[in-house]
Amino acid sequence: MGFKKGALSDIFRRRRSLIKINDDTPISEQHLHPLSGAVLVLTKIDSKPRPVQGRYAVGWLGEGRQHLWYYKNFQTEADARQFFERHKKDGPPQNNYFKQDQQVNEVYGWEHHFRLKTMALTIPQMEFVTGKLAQIFNMEAPVVTFKPGKKKKTYAEADLQNNKIIMYRPQLALLLHEMAHLVNDQVNQDKWAWHGPGFVRTYLSILSLFPIIAPAEKLEALARESGLSIAKENNVRASRLLRKWRDHCNGDPHCDPTPT
Ligand SMILES: [Zn+2]
């Protein structure tokens, strides 16, 4: 969107958390960035002495954070608004601060209820599933390798750079989780937290294709109970693609990605 990669964070003059946002902070504009869960905020600073750089500030508030990071001051509200409008679509800088995987434990906690109970797949079945999903999301099918018993702690891994999934255990939900990472990266262009709101929505959309695991509504309700932040379906490209595909397919058995 008009910026070179990596340059976005330089646009914001200040990176350190100097402005605290609380219930009393006067916020004239805010915009939720769905994939990252961060909020772009336009606020007026009433502190004394008057901020030299200007009383109006526009900056990103990371999910669950209290301080504005990556913000810029303005002398007039009109300038602040212009900056706000220009930056809301881009999302926060894709750097370590906004990549922090804040809800990874909640994701694992939620999955604990179902992931190892799902069916064990053979390698051809894994390839069948990822191949079908790749068609839906209009991407290249990932390479899937299965290395049973290699690692104890990790069940599966996604290699975003090489479009690859490595499975250490054969369960379907583990494969879908890793596929959701590839889809979130390639289709949604979500370069923020690995298990952020965009990932969870994408994963839920993929899970909804496999009612043998659990009804989609039930999984989503369980995810909310686990405190997960989930992007809205309409705001996630992968979820929109999937819905379009489902409308198209409408019960055609060739469309079903469930392995037999
Ligand atoms: Zn993951």
Rounded to the nearest angstrom, the distance between the alpha carbon of 87 and the centre of ligand 1 is: 28
Segments forming the whole domain that contains residue 94: 8-99
> How far apart are alpha carbons 100 and 249 in whole angstroms?
38
Q: How many domains does the chain have?
A: 2
Is residue 166 a part of any domain in this protein?
Answer: yes
Domain finish residue from 74, 99, 124: 99
List of E strands, the chain: 19-20, 27-32, 39-44, 56-61, 67-74, 143-146, 156-159, 164-167
Instruction: For residues 68 and 133, state if they share a domain.
Output: no
Instruction: For residues 38 and 83, state if they share a domain.
Output: yes
Rounded to the nearest angstrom, the distance between the alpha carbon of 176 and the centre of ligand 1 is: 10
Instruction: For residues 77 and 110, state if they share a domain.
Output: no
Instruction: For residues 181 and 53, state if they share a domain.
Output: no
Rounded to the nearest angstrom, the distance between the alpha carbon of 6 and the centre of ligand 1 is: 24
Instruction: For residues 79 and 123, state if they share a domain.
Output: no
> What's the length of the chain?
260
Phi, psi of 181 (to 5 degrees): -65, -45
Is residue 256 a part of any domain in this protein?
Answer: no
Rounded to the nearest angstrom, the distance between the alpha carbon of 151 and the centre of ligand 1 is: 16
Tens digit of each residue's pLDDT, the chain (260 residues): 444 444 445 556 555 556 888 888 888 899 999 999 999 999 998 776 677 778 899 999 998 888 888 888 899 999 999 999 998 888 998 888 899 999 999 999 999 999 989 999 999 999 999 999 999 999 999 999 999 987 678 899 999 999 999 999 999 999 999 999 999 999 999 999 999 999 999 999 999 999 999 999 999 999 999 999 999 999 999 999 999 998 888 778 888 899 88
Cβ neighbours, 10 Å, residue 166: 17
